[in-house]
């Protein structure tokens, strides 16, 4: 069927009709246009022109979609951080494990058992396993400057004249600076005068010496001239640093918890993340400890860390060490001369939690039963375990005669040792406290009088703690520090 169209139809009357044909009036028939497919209102043809492509239409993002995407990003970041943390921690512990068992030879790129490092044999190319090792030093000279008595009187030494007290005659602030620099740790040094008649009887009559004019920068022992009397009537007393000072005054077996702010010289000597011994800062770069801490496989320097400024035992961080020097007279069989010095690769920053303790003057004059304090993280009981928190114990000095009696330690006690504690036991240092400080308070400062050395058991009756006598080691300490600037 074709398309629907409009048409006109003409009706013509038939014969016999009463109507006359001529009377019929036919209307004029209008011409109807033929059907067409053309629109009545044609549009102008659109000529396509090059232009920008339209972006496809997308549904607008909802807040829920945005939150979901943010959550996915955060989850991804968190996962990466956790994985990196796990890998870093694993790498740290793997390195600690390897370092505890092996020494790495860098030049020959190989590992050797740690026991072969520092054993006197070159197991690495170039002997690098024998280079960074514990050394020893025997002093055969007299360090020419010292402080003596509780008044810290300055004395100088010469082979011909021996020890002489320095008069206050012609003494200047620059002389104070020079003398204190020779003695080690120096911070805001100052000098005072002590009347000669206030000295002990054996020192009231000399011998004396005094500085020569124009010798302010000359080493003090080379800048003096002998005197029969001090014209000023006084001698020089020095205070060279802020050592032994703490902001507050406030378990070793039978001890109590302590805060590092009150004992800021206390440090932990560690290997492989494990606490091995205690020690004491005697300057920002030097630590005093016990020689017996470096026996066996503990002679390689790179394995040691000195952790300072902490009340609670920690393993992260710590200072590297570039020198460990044992007293050359150390006798392992008798624990005699049981002292060592460790030099840090860089000085610590002195502050509330880190501060050197004072070395004692010569002839400190400690009386029997003088009250002292020992600190450390050692065992809380014999055959126990290390304390996680710093401990302190207040103990009295035991006189040499009592400690060397046959019922205590007898001939095992030498002049390089002192004893402290209670003959009935109960309070004592123990394993892990070795090398730590025994300190005494006087003249507003704490002084290092002993280094934890040995004992029979811990806190046993008539078996008190034995300490290396620091006063007897002063000459060795000052000489080592001077020779290793």
Q: Report yes or no on 140 lying in a domain.
A: no
Whether residues 235 and 286 fall in one domain? no
Quote the pLDDT of residue 94: 75
What is the Cα–Cα distance from 225 to 408, expressed in whole angstroms?
48
pLDDT of residue 30: 42
Domain co-membership, 379 together with 233: no
Domain shared by 308 and 371, yes or no: yes
Regarding whether 344 and 230 lie in a shared domain, the answer is no
My answer on whether 185 and 309 are in the same domain is no
Domain boundary among 184, 205, 239: 239
Residue 349 falls inside a structural domain: yes
Which has the closest alpha carbon to 439: 343, 359, 327, 352? 359
Residue 98, both tokens: 């390897």
Same domain, 389 and 440: yes
Do 195 and 328 share a structural domain? no
In a domain, 384, yes or no: yes
Residue 191 covered by a domain? yes
139 within some domain: no
Judge if 384 and 467 occupy the same domain: yes
In the structure encoding, which two tokens stand for residue 268, read together? 């932990």
263 shares its domain with 233: no
The CATH number assigned to the domain holding 150 equals 3.10.250.10
CA distances from 313 to 159, 310, 451 (A): 48, 7, 20
Give the range of the structural domain holding residue 194, as residue numbers without chain letter: 145-239
CB 118 within 8 A of CB 106: no
**How many other CB atoms are there within 10 angstroms of residue 358's CB atom?**
25
Judge contact between 446 and 439, C-beta under 8 A: yes
In this structure, is residue 84 part of a structural domain?
Answer: no
Rounded-to-integer distance, Cα 480 and Cα 61, Å: 75
Q: How many beta carbons lie within 10 A of that of residue 84, not counting itself?
A: 10
Number of independent structural domains in the chain:
3
Q: pLDDT tens per residue, the chain (485 residues)?
A: 444 433 333 333 333 433 333 333 334 444 444 444 555 455 555 555 555 544 444 455 566 777 788 888 888 999 999 999 898 878 766 766 676 677 878 777 778 787 778 888 888 887 787 888 999 999 999 999 999 999 999 999 999 889 999 999 999 999 999 999 999 989 999 999 999 999 999 999 989 999 998 888 899 999 999 999 999 999 999 999 999 998 655 445 666 788 999 999 999 999 988 899 999 999 999 999 999 999 887 899 988 999 999 999 887 779 999 999 999 999 999 999 999 999 999 999 999 999 999 999 999 988 888 999 999 998 877 877 788 999 999 999 999 999 999 999 999 999 999 999 999 887 877 877 999 999 999 988 999 999 999 998 888 988 999 999 999 999 999 999 999 98
* CATH code of 363's domain: 2.40.10.10
Looking at the domain assignment, is residue 218 inside a domain?
yes
Same-domain pairing of 284 and 185: no
Whether residue 414 is found in the same domain as residue 444: yes
Residue 72 preceded by cis peptide, ω within 30: no
Domain membership of residue 47 (yes or no) is no
CA distances from 350 to 57, 247, 402, 441 (A): 68, 13, 39, 20
State residue 14's pLDDT score. 38
Could you tell me if 179 and 299 lie in one domain?
no
Residues that are catalytic: 292, 338, 434
Q: How far is 106 from 444, CA to CA, in rounded Å? A: 50
Are 253 and 382 a contacting pair, CB within 8 Å? Answer: yes
């Amino acid at each position: 069927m074709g398309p629907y169209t409009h048409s006109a139809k003409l009706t013509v009357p038939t014969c016999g009709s009463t109507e006359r044909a001529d009377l019929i009036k036919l209307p004029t028939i209008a011409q109807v246009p033929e059907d067409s497919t053309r629109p009545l209102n044609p549009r102008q043809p659109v000529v396509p022109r090059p232009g920008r492509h339209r972006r496809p239409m997308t549904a607008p993002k909802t807040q829920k979609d945005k939150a979901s995407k943010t959550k996915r990003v955060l989850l991804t970041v968190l996962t990466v951080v956790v994985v990196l943390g796990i890998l870093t921690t694993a790498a740290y512990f793997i390195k600690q494990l390897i370092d505890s068992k092996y020494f790495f030879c860098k030049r020959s790129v190989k590992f050797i058992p740690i026991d072969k490092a520092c054993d006197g044999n070159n197991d690495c190319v170039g002997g690098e396993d024998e280079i960074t090792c514990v050394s020893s030093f025997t002093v055969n000279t007299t360090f020419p400057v010292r402080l003596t008595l509780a008044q810290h009187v300055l004395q100088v030494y010469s082979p011909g004249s021996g020890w002489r007290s320095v008069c206050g005659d012609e003494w200047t602030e620059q002389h104070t600076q020079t003398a204190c620099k020779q003695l080690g740790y120096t911070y805001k040094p100052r000098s005072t005068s002590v009347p000669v008649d206030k000295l002990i009887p054996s020192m009231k009559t000399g011998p004396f010496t005094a500085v020569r004019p124009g010798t302010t920068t000359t080493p003090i022992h080379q800048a003096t001239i002998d005197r029969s009397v001090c014209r000023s009537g006084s001698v020089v007393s020095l205070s060279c640093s802020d050592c032994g000072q703490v902001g507050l005054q406030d378990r070793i077996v039978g001890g109590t918890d302590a805060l590092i702010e009150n004992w800021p010289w206390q440090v932990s000597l560690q290997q492989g993340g494990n606490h091995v011994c205690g020690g004491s800062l005697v300057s920002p770069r030097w630590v005093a400890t016990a020689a017996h801490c470096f026996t066996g496989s503990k002679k390689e320097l790179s394995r040691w860390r000195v952790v300072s400024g902490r009340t609670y035992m920690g393993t992260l961080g710590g200072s590297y060490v570039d020198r460990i020097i044992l007293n050359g007279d150390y006798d392992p069989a008798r624990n005699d001369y049981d002292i060592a010095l460790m030099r840090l690769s860089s000085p610590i920053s002195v502050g509330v939690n880190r501060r050197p303790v004072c070395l004692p003057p010569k002839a400190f004059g400690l009386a029997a039963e003088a009250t002292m304090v020992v600190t450390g993280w050692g065992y809380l009981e014999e055959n126990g375990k290390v304390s996680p928190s710093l401990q302190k114990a207040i103990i009295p000095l035991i006189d040499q005669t009592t400690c060397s009696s046959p019922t205590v330690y007898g001939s095992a006690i030498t002049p390089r040792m002192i004893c402290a504690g209670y003959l009935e036991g109960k309070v004592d240092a123990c394993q892990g406290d070795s090398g730590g400080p025994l300190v005494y308070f006087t003249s507003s400062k704490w002084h290092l009088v002993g280094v934890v050395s040995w004992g029979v058991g811990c806190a046993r009756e008539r078996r008190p703690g034995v300490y290396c006598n620091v006063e007897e080691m002063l000459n060795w300490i000052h000489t080592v520090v001077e020779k290793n600037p």
